[in-house]
């Protein structure tokens, strides 16, 4: 059996050498303990991890640690994380440590991955190569079902491909799923009759892991054509439960709310790359990975690498659609696409609904900005005969 290989960045405590620090991680996450014990049998040594290398990197070091596959319970992702991302973050011999990436052997990837993936979602929407444009119902909470549906209709007639609940809207009394979903889907049917375009609506079904499949089934029974899960707050097992259930026959949109508590510090925590790999393995059809020009803090190189992890060849598993979101507007579209490519969903909330002409105009402006990029025309030039884009650029500019 092959090993699981985890890559870490770390900075050792002053009295600890880099090699000692790497060994401390390895021992803590496999068979070691802080003192000698009489219960350690000779045969246990086969489960010892090993340090591949320690290399200087900026103010710290990187290392690759090999974990024998036998340590892992096949298919138990919660247990996988207890090994590769367990007690090491609290080790006193380390000033900081960050899990950068993971590589699993095929025997530890029994998962089927996304049911739809990029190609399946493109088939549903009717696109081939162009980026998809999405929006979020705003304000994120507070609207009743009727007003939520009205916002969705305006976005749909403007040319949006995807409409989603925000991360904090689930099944509150002011906008319950049993009323919200039929209202939104009826408006999307009306919009489709006008435009001919299929629009996906990602209903946030986040709840307890043992209830999430039931809630998703309820939403689908009410007409939902996509569901959404907040994967960090509800847990990777909740996503797995949704994706593995044969009755969930719609795409799964994965929001990463709370991720920055893990990913933001460049010296400590867990990078987005391992999260992206796990989401794809477990069946997420779409995943938020960040922008290169939005309101959230990101490294462009990291975002490109995270997106590549969602789309590279991987045990025959379908590709996951990356989602760029957080502070986008039409003036930022060209930079996003030039940096991240066109296999992407550009998700704009305020950048759609905050348009001077309203939601439908904001959606048209986003689509016009995409068209300008695909035609190789600078947005300011394209805006000369596209009013909605011109208004957006006047309001927000190009940066």
Q: Which residue has the tokens 């391992």?
A: 274
| CB atoms inside a 10 Å sphere around CB 72 | 21
Rounded (5°) CA angle 179-184-185: 105
Annotated catalytic residue within 138, 192, 217, 268: 138
Q: Which of 164, 253, 255, 332 does the annotation list as catalytic?
A: 255
- In the annotation, is 255 catalytic? yes
Identify whether 335 is a catalytic site residue.
no
Q: Where are the alpha helices (DSSP H) in the chain?
A: 18-28, 77-84, 117-125, 145-157, 177-195, 212-221, 231-234, 236-244, 260-263, 272-282, 300-311, 333-340, 350-353, 359-374, 379-382, 387-396
Q: Which residues contact 8 (CB under 8 A, 6 or more apart)?
A: 22, 25, 62, 63, 64, 65, 88, 97, 98, 99, 100
Q: How many CA atoms lie within 13 A of 108 on its CB side?
A: 24
Please choose, from the candidates 111, 74, 122, 76, the residue with its C-alpha nearest in 3D space to the C-alpha of residue 243.
111
The residue with tokens 């039931």 is: 214
- Catalytic sites, residue numbers: 138, 255
């Amino acid at each position: 059996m092959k090993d699981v290989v985890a890559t870490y960045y770390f900075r050792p405590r002053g009295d600890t050498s880099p090699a000692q620090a790497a060994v401390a991680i390895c021992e803590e996450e496999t068979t070691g303990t802080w003192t000698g014990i009489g219960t350690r049998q000779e045969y246990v040594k086969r489960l010892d991890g090993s340090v591949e290398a320690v290399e200087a990197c900026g103010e710290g070091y990187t290392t690759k640690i090999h974990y024998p596959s036998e340590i892992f319970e096949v298919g138990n992702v919660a247990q996988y994380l207890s090994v590769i991302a367990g007690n090491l973050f609290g080790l006193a011999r380390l000033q900081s440590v960050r899990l950068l990436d993971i590589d699993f052997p095929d025997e530890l990837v029994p998962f089927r991955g996304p049911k739809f993936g990029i190609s399946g979602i493109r088939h549903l929407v009717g696109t081939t190569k162009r980026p998809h444009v999405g929006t979020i119902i705003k304000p994120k909470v507070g609207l009743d079902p009727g007003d939520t549906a009205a916002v969705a209709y305006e976005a749909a007639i403007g040319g949006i491909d995807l409409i989603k609940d925000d991360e904090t809207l689930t099944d509150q009394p002011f906008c319950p799923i049993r009323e919200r979903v039929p209202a939104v889907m009826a408006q999307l049917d009306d919009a489709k009759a006008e435009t001919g375009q299929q629009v996906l609506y990602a209903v946030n079904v986040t709840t307890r892991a043992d209830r999430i499949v039931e809630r998703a089934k309820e939403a689908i029974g009410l007409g939902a054509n996509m569901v959404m899960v907040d994967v960090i707050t509800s847990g990777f097992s909740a996503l797995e439960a949704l994706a593995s259930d044969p009755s969930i026959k719609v795409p799964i949109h994965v929001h990463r709310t709370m991720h920055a508590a893990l990913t933001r510090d460049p010296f400590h925590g867990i990078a987005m790359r391992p999260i992206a790999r796990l989401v794809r393995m477990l069946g997420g059809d779409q995943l938020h990975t960040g922008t290169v020009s939005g309101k959230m803090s990101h490294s462009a190189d990291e975002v490109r690498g995270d997106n590549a992890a969602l789309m590279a060849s991987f045990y025959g598993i379908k590709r996951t659609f990356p989602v760029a979101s957080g502070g986008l507007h039409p003036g930022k579209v060209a930079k996003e696409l030039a940096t991240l490519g066109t296999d992407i969903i550009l998700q704009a909330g305020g950048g759609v609904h905050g348009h001077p002409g309203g939601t439908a105009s904001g959606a048209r402006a986003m689509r016009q900005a995409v068209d300008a990029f695909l035609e190789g025309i600078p947005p300011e030039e394209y805006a000369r005969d596209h009013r909605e884009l011109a208004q957006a650029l006047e309001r927000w500019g190009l940066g």
